[in-house]
Structure 1
Amino acid sequence: MTVKLDFEECLKDSPRFRAEIEVVQTDVSELETRLEKLVKQCQAMLEAGRVYCQTSKSFVNGLRELGHQCSGDKMMEECLDMISKKLSVILEAQGEVIETTQKSVKTKLQNFVKEDVRRFKDVRKEFERCSETLEGALVRNGQAPRGKTHEVEEASQALVNARRSFRSGALDYVLEINVIEAKKKTDIVMAMLSLMESQAQFFQQGHQSLSELDEYRQRLNEEHTQFVLSAAREKRDMEQRHAAIKKKDTTYDDSIMDFNADAPNGIAMEGYLYKRASNAFKTWSRRWFSIQKNQLVYQKKFKEQPTVVVEDLRLCTVKHSAENERRFCFEVVSPSKCCLLQADSEDQQKAWIRAVQNSIASAFQECREDTHSPRQRCSSVSAGNLLGGGGGGGGGGGEENGGYKALEEVQAIPGNQQCCDCGEPGPDWASINLGITLCIVCSGIHRSLGVHFSKVRSLTLDSWEPELVKLMCELGNTVINRIYEARIDEITIKKPHPTSPRPDKETWIRSKYVEKKFIKKLPETGRNPPQRRSSGKKSRPPTLERPVERPPLKPKPNRATLPRVTGLTPSDLVQKNNTSPHKNVEEEEEDLSGLHPGALLYRSAALQNFPVMADALAHGADVNWVNVTEESSTPLIQAVSANALAACEFLLQNGANVNQADSSGRGPLHHGTILGHTGLVCLFLKRGADYNAKDKNQKDPITIAVDNANADIVTLLRIAKMNKEMREMDGAFGQPGDETYQDIFRDFSHMASNNPEKLKRRSADPKF
């Protein structure tokens, strides 16, 4: 260690010693000032480094997000991802450099200033105090009178003590001077060495990380060169195309006005038109119109859901409009509203009118082709062959005039000759879940309510499945109005008539079906849970006497006494019924007056009493209500046990879950298969039943049908399975599956509704 001051010299307290002390004190003060400034500069550098790292990390995250956005371009995604990863590694190393600098430089220098320099100052103060004490003792000793021995002795003794204290303080001060001089070198040099080592490690790691990209950077540079050349060629081609197109007259483009009914995207015609609003101001707005799926729709922005102007082009007509002051106007008129449109030119006006007319003709042509297709006429032969004979011939032709046949049968029901809501005669629309007929105006209002309230279908234009016709014939306007207008005499709202304005009809219909203002309110007793019947006695058809007036519950013959499905085979059920002592046991009548709507729907479904079922639904019955006291059975399963085809269709149209299983894991399709109800199996398969679902015995409907030797049901299940496999296999090529599937199921539906005796269970060899 280098000796800054000599210890012997400090004992002499010479002027040279004092001068050297002043030099040392000045150096230490300057050192303290410079170190404090350096510590502040280091702190500022560290803070700036942290900000740089944080900003750089945000930049790297931006690169990574840009790479994800360019996921369609593999080269761009790979480039941005790789660069962001390497930069992240470098930033991590830079963060370590900042932390090392914080510990090795700033903290060490700050400690030197706060501890070593402060200790030096404290020792210096002690030295200066001892020096002043010595100087005072010397003065007092020199002034002591010769004749006063006592004062002389005191002055001499004080001088000795002061000199001893001074020498001790001077030696400590010299030692501290030499120590701080040596420590200044070690601490500052060590801090600088740590800083250089961390910087060297950082740059070495960064160089190594970037060197790993040498190969990739070279390849990327070559690709970039190719991109530049390709971009130059494309730019030249685009400039040539631009110059060629610029020479053309682009004031009007006839190509966009071509009508194409067989367009690949399904859009037969599209373009901009002005549309006059139906509000009081009659404002005009420019919208993008298109004809697609036999509908006229428009939208303001591409991602917006198109607004339907005409639901079905078969119900509208188009004509020129000369009533408005604006030019090139035409009207699209439907039964419910009239839409006034304006084209940009006379040619566009004519093109749009022709397009709408052609679309109307195409829609009617498609309807006629669907109705009179050769495949549909020969479908009965296919089903007849599968059934083992010619018994299926009655089903194929029944749908050839299906719309008009449905109109005749449905309008023959009492009360259906007038619209259910306004009374207009000759309604040709229907709500299939409510079972009522409607005029075209009321049908449009019903459609606006949503399918969870009303499912509207045309009695003349749409094809009708036989089970739907059968369902409509079970209900009717009189029955439904008896439920939904039960309190009409108590309400001040007046029922609309055929000539009432549309807003009045809409208010009435919403009050009637959505708000249900006119139905009888349920008493509190109608909200209690159902009670289980005594298991020791056989129940006979219950009478649903309730405080609320409603159509009487009259079970159909031989339907109410059918056994509830318990998972047994049909033969077991027949044997059980034949051996049960039903003549000698008293029957206990069940009081259902306190049932809540769900239980009421459950009981009436087994009895096929449609008015009571509709009443229960009107009062908020859950169509999927579960009876926990009877193996978690549902109303749909109860209807299956009664072989009630129309009741099942009624529940399905009102939202029943076709796959909801009971506590045995068996859904409606299982129960229909067990009981051999071929018509119901056909219905459930058409409504999306899962033919692969297994019960708790790990048996699916196909296995059950094979075990029960029911050839018809096995055929239906296997055809449904085969059709799904074909559809999945050919779906990528736009094939919907085998159309014969639809023909066969159509014939089974006809027989189930019109000739159910042809679908009775019969034994057959399961190995067919």
Structure 2
Amino acid sequence: MDTFLDFEDCIRDSPAFRQSLDKCESDMSELESRVEKVMKLCGQMVDAGQNYTSCNQLFLCALSEFTAYHKSDGVILNCLRQFNQGLQEMIQFQTMLFDQTQRAISQQLTNLLSQFVPQIRETRREFVRIGDDLDSAVVKNAQVSRHKPVDAERATHLLLATRKCYQHFALDYCLQLNNFKVQQKLDILNSVFSYFHAQYTFFHQGFDLLRDLEPTMKTMASQLSQLSTDCSAKRKDLENTHLLVQQRDASGEAVIVCNPSDGGTIQGYLFKRSRKKNKTWKRCWFSTENNQLIYLKSHKEQPVVLFDDLRLCAVKSLDVIDRRFCFELLSVQKCCVLQADSEELKSAWMNAVQGCIDMAYRDQVTDQNTQVKVSSAPVSIPDPPSHPPALGVALSGRGNQHCCDCGEAEPRWASVNLGITMCIECSGIHRSLGVHLSKVRSLTLDSWEPEQLKLLCVLGNEVINGIYEREAADVLQKPSAGSPRQDKEQWIRSKYVEKRFVARHPDGPDADALKLRARQRLYSASVSGDLVAMAEALAEGAEINWNNNEQEGRTALIGSAIGGSLLACEFLLQNGANVNHRDQRGQGALHAAATYGHTGQVCLLLKRGANQYAADEKGNDPLSIAIETAHADIVTLLRMARMNEEMRDSEGFFGSVGDDETFQDIFRDFSNMASHDPEKLTRRPFIRSSEEEQQDEEEKN
């Protein structure tokens, strides 16, 4: 236990007090030197970390350029791009860690030293000076002769005044030292705790990021395994092809590419005689394509059409000139002399060109006959529908084209439970808030369900900012895309954690009534499916799992199941609603959805873990209610879910992993239908067979 300077010993100025004072001053000096050492090393660590972050950022820029180099390979491009985005977010986390470390260590310890040490030193100087004056006054008082009463009285008064002043300074000095000893423990522990909390937040953010990237990494691992297999197979195939070509064609003879099955198309090198200068020959690459003869002077130039319609040409051998292996192509407009490298190549070229001419005539007749048949009965084939990606759908919402918190353009991240889009830097800050406040997902890396994307479109940045920033102009200035990260972090925490900008009534005697009104508003909005009113009620402090005693203890989730709004149900589940809460009659959200025939909500609640075996006070589970209300789709869903669960239980530890594929297909069909075509889920009567009725009677008996 620490010992403090005793104020009574200070008045007596005993040797024990002087010894304690010396020890306290030496402790303060030692603490000051150690704090300065910690601050110096902290500064060096932060500087090194910032240099590391800068180098890491340069590395990611190079990696991004490396990604662009593989733009033609979809697999590599997608993998590198996704890893680049994840590493960019990790750099943001590291930057935030160094900023928090700077504030936790340097700023807090600097405040400790600057608050106490200068004042303590100034007081100590006065204390030493007055102490010297006291010693002089004591000596003078002792030296005055008893025969000089006037001098003795003056020396006595001076001694009393000096001692009184010394005692005041000594008490002040002791008080400051004791206060410093008390405060330094608090500030040091607070500084270390803040630094540890920054480390904890950093690793927690990294854990959340890697957990979100885990499905992507599994997909990449399977792609990498497949790519490795394909690479080995391709290399083996290339080696075999290389060996085959080496044994077959690497004989020094000229090579041409001829395809008899395609009308005799041929490719290869020929010498072409200039039409203006008969003695000038140039070696070019020739090919027959689309009833044309095309040649290429160089790989850097564009191809030139020599004859645009081979049907108007004739090919013949040319033996009247000095050069060997020549043949000629003639048309009404021009002629061209070509030379091959051998007699075999000459014959191949002449036969191939003649075959192209014959094929062109046959194709013309076939096209004319087909044209007549098709014109008599035209058929139109509609284009397949195109579905926009998650990013395009999310950005179509009101205000979603810019970050909800800083306004940066083209955000690539979103909060599922808040219904907003955000940039990568703000998404890192949202992750640090915890999933109970903001569930951050990537619009390009993660998979999205239809109802989740609809939440982003129905709510969106414009609606949410109208709720959470209603009184922001009077409290704090909103940061921009170029603002420092700490300003954005302060804004986001004030906005979503403290909810400082939400329009509130002043606290008073009706505060409980206002909270009750917010809870009732959440329940009524859930029944009617008003997402905006639900978001406002949650912002005003309504509990997500509040029991409405006026409605038999139902929660907002049960109310949304009664009302039938799929989006309201998804919004409540994303914000932490208990899917298995039951009211005073023992019925939960799944009971209510089955009672009122909401197929889409039954599917959603089952996917979110609703207990399909829970029975109400009458002993009816959701399946019994669905059979009683005669809704065939819900009966099918519940029976398939029950069958799937029983199959998994029966398979045991060594069974197959995951759900039955048929079960997954049925749920996927119902989910898509509930999101895109809800009108198709009309109530269809459920007709029970005689065997099912007999089985129910046996179970009752």
TM-score tier after normalising by the smaller chain length = 0.3 to 0.5
* Larger helix share, 1 or 2: 2
Q: TM-score, normalised by structure 1?
A: 0.41
Considering only CA atoms, is the larger Rg found in Structure 1 or Structure 2? 1
Q: TM-score, normalised by structure 2?
A: 0.45
Query: Which structure has the higher relative contact order (CA within 8 Å, separation 6+)?
Result: 1
